[in-house]
Structure formats: C-alpha cells, structure tokens
Amino acid sequence: MRPSPKPVILVAFGEEENLGAGYLMSLLNGAGIANRMIDFRYDKSEILEAIRRDDPIAVGFSVIFEVCIGHFVSLVQYLREGGIECHFTAGGYYASLYPEELLGMIPELDSIVRFEGEYPFLELVQCLINGSDWRNVKNLAFPGNGEITRTPLREPENDLDRFPVPVRRPLREYVPGIRYATILSGRGCNYNCSFCNTREFYRQAGGPPRRIRRPEMVVREMHQLYSEKRCKVFLFLDDDNPVKTARDNKWMKDFCSELERTGLSGKLIWKMNCRPDEIEPVTFAMMKKHGLFLVFIGLEDGTDEGLTRLNKKMTVASTLRGVEILTRLNIGFDYGMLLFQPDSTFMSLRDNLSFLEGICRDCNVPVTFLKLSPYFGTQVERELRNTGRLKGQPGILDYNFLTEALDACWAAVSESFAEWLWGREGVVNLAKWVRNYLAVWHHFGNSSSMEDRYRGIYSETVAQSNLYLVDTMTDLFNYYESGDYLRDGQQHKQQIRTDIGKRHQGFCATFTETLKSLRTEALY
C-alpha cells in the first residue's frame, strides 16, 4: 500500500470516550494512516471547515444513536453542498441492520460499513489509498444502478484481544484529581430482552451473541492506563459484564486475581453492568475487595408479569435478592426502570411505582425511570408495527398508550419531571454525582466525621425528594385516571407543575452546594 498524505476523519459522538471510534483509529494508526475524530455535536460550519483543512481521503460517520439520524442526514447533506467530495461512509447499529433505509435517507453516502467495522473500514480506506476497487470489501453496502448491493459478511473477530487498545482522548477527571477511563471486557449479550437490539445485531453479523476478552488482557490495559495516565477510575461499558459465564464465575475470579497480582488492588476502583439475578454474595464481596464500587443493574419492571412480557428471564424475587446483596455489601448501584411501557395501565404504573419506591427507600438511591422506546430491530418495535401502533420515523419512533388518559398522563409527567429525572442539572443526576464523590472519597481519602456529615445530607435530601416525587406521581395518576383533567381545564396539572419547579430548585440547590463543598475539600 502506498502511503497516503491525506488523513481519515471520523465524525462521532464525543461527550464520553467513544471506544468504537477509538478501536477504528487504533487500527488505522497501526497501518500508518493518519486520522482524527471530530465531535458530531460541533456546529456544522465548524465541521465543514475542519474537513476542508484536512482534505481527507475519507470521512466516516458513526451513527451509533438512533435519535441522531436526523442530525446526520442534515450534516452529510451540508458537507456535500459545502464542496466536500471525498468518500463518505457510515457505520453503527442502524446502518448495519437497515443499510437500504439509511442510504435512502442519506443518498450522499458512498458506502456503509456493516456490523463490526475494524477490519472492513481499514480495508476500505486502504483501497481508496491504493486506487483499487473498494466494492469488493466485505461487510459493505453501497448504491449503484438503482439498487443497493450488500457484500458478503466476514467472520467477526473471535479473539477481541487481537485488536490494539483503542485510541483515547486525554483522560478527564471523574472528581478533582482523579482521572477515569471507559473500558470493555467483551462485546454482545447472551440475553434477548424485547426492548433491546444488541442480540439481533450480533445474530445478523453471523458471530456468537457474546465474546469475552481474556481477563489478563483487560487488566493489562487498566495497568497501562494507571501507570502512564494515572487513571484510577474505570467504567466498564459492556451491556453485561462477565459475572457469570459458561464456566460460572471463573472469569471474574481470574480478573480479580490478576488485579491482585499486578498490584492494582487498592489503587483503583471500577464500575460495571450486570443483571440483578447474576448477583451473589461471595463473588461480589470478592469484587468489592478488588475495587468494585458501583453496579448498573437492569430492573426494568417490578412485576413478574412485566418481566415476562419484556423477556427478561428473571423474577421480582431474584431482583430483590440482588439488590439486597448489593446493599448489604455497601456497593452502590444505578438502575434502569421502564415505568411507562406500551401495555401500561394505571394499575401497572402504581404497582411499579410502589416497587421502585420500596427499593429506593431501602437503598437510599434516587427514584428515576423512563418510557420504553421502540428501538429499531427489537421485538417491541415489530409488535407495535404489526398492530399499527408504531408512529414516527427512524430516530423518533414512538407509540400511543392504550388510552387517551394514559397519553395525557405521560405528557404531564414528562413535561413536569423532565429536568428532574433526565437533565444534566436535575435532581437525579446531581444526587448521583454526590454519591460518586462520596464513593471516591471513601476509597481514596480518609473516612472522617466530615464524610459522615455529607453522607447524611445526601441521604436526607434523596429521601425527601423521592417521597415528594412518588406522592406527586400518585396524584397525577389519580388525576388522569379519574378524568378530572378533562373537567378542570388541567388547572390542577399546572398547579402541580409550578410546585414541582419550586421543589426541584430547592433539592438541586442542596445537592449543588454539597458538590461545591466536596470539590473544595479535595480530600481525594
């Protein structure tokens, strides 16, 4: 391959470390191909000027979030209109599963790289550099002669450790003085929840639903980041970390043993993701001893009927047992909860809210929830489409509930609590950051009466905010189920929304002041 004076540009989401783009960039570096990433959230004119300056041989668009499709449609069109003529390609879940649809929405694309993109993208770029026919590269889709051609798929890489470590941006601070990095222990998931398209993605790719890295290689990457970049907090991004595998908990035992052997135990902490029914006391006590401080668990529903409908393959009893073990071991946790679902009723909303209230009260975590989104390629999307309930277009697919009262209720809840539940400066996010600061303080600082005081402020404020949210949600459920919203011109809703704003401001002020104090103390 003759060297190319022109670089490759990746346009991708850059708020957090983008490991997908990082792995692509690492392989390009290994082949001697210059490259860099531009955050797609930049102003379109900034992206255009940056690409003009670099004059790349190719631009790759990482369409990893369905909600961003509309943004990419307008961005790619804008770049072409701005005179950028190099090869445009795209990748990601939607691009892989629905290449014809994406090429129809973005006809300015020359190609799509489907499924695992490291090797196909590198080969595509090498063909562009050499002037050879890139249309013979596997895993591509491209337009021509009025139709879309899909090239054959290559076998996915069975040994993920053959990929070089990903290129990373300069590490940012998790809390003042403590840097963090994201990392993967594997790809894929063995489960097949009705609202998730991960299993479908890997099924169509032709490989196993889940591949796991060797624990010693994961620890080697962590050790390098700790030694060279002073990274002390690691956030695993796996859909489901290998707590349990075909060989039971051997992977996690080997991982913890390797942390001990390399001297990393006690020097760093890590967060991971798993199902609540995978949590058991002996393994998680071992994991905590070696740095586990936070777990994300998918609760999703608080009834056995709901869990069956979501194809979670677990029970409420196993969920409660997992939560109880984390609480007993004093391991923090976040969770996913799909309170509003396509088949929700006011009765199911009350049942699930009661379940959530009990867990959050006992474990001192903020109440939060989502509406189930009908992501493309999922069982939920297919069912809604087949019953005529799916509406919108890719990126903004949605559905109505079973009654107009439920639709009106969700509109009121999402309008009234949007900033509280999902905002960067909202109650839930601020509460989690206070908890995270306290966790780091506990691991790297010296426990003191000051820590106890801040923990007390956190606990009291979370308890008060949770109680208010649950009571207000219950009031809204009663208001809409009774039909009163049709009779009073929704005056009660407006009163509630005004009160929510005032209470939200007060709770946020407490959390913000606590965070300011923790940053000032800087006892890490």
pLDDT tens-digit map of 206-247: 889 999 999 999 999 999 999 999 999 999 999 899 988 766
Using DSSP's 3-state secondary structure scheme, residue 95 falls into helix
Contact 380, 372 (CB under 8 A): yes
Residue 150's contacts (CB-CB under 8 Å, 6 or more residues apart) are: 99, 114, 140, 141
- What pLDDT sits at residue 68? 79
Extract the tokens encoding 427: 């109650």
Share of the chain above pLDDT 90, in %: 79
- Mean pLDDT, residues 432-443: 90
Residue 10 has pLDDT above 60, yes or no: yes
Q: How far apart are CA 68 and CA 345, in angstroms?
A: 30
Please name the residues in contact with 330: beta carbons below 8 A apart, sequence gap of 6 or more: 288
At 307, which helix (H) or strand (E)?
A: helix 304-309
What is the Cα–Cα distance from 343 to 79, expressed in whole angstroms?
42
Collapse the DSSP code of 59 into the 3-class scheme (helix H, G, I; strand E, B; otherwise coil) and give the result: strand
Under DSSP, is residue 355 helix (H, G, I), strand (E, B) or coil? Answer: helix
> Which helix (H) or strand (E) covers residue 308, if one does?
helix 304-309
Q: Pick one of 3.50.40.10, 1.25.40.10, 1.10.1370.30, 3.20.20.70 as the CATH number of 170-400.
A: 3.20.20.70
Residue 66: pLDDT band by 50, 70, 90 thresholds? confident
Residue 32 backbone zone (phi > 0: left; psi -120 to 50: alpha; other: beta): left
pLDDT at 16: 77
| 351-360: average pLDDT | 96
**What amino acid is encoded at 325 in this protein?**
I
Q: Residue 470 is encoded by which pair of tokens? A: 């649950």
Confidence of residue 84 (pLDDT cuts 50, 70, 90): very high
| One-character DSSP codes across 258-279 | HHHHTT-TTT-EEEEEE-GGG-
CB 470 within 8 A of CB 358: no
Describe the chain by its helix, strand, coil percentages, rounded to 5: 50, 15, 35
The pLDDT of residue 524 is above 60: no
Q: Where are the domains of the chain?
A: 8-146, 170-400, 403-524
Domain 8-146 has CATH 3.40.50.280: yes
Whole-number average pLDDT of the chain: 92
Phi first, then psi: what are they for 175, rounded to 5°?
-135, 165
pLDDT of residue 182: 95
Query: Residue 3's pLDDT is what?
Result: 55
Q: How far apart are CA 479 and CA 495, in angstroms?
A: 12
pLDDT of residue 161: 95
Which band of pLDDT confidence, cut at 50, 70 and 90, is reported for residue 139? Answer: very high
Indicate the pTM of the whole model.
Answer: 0.93
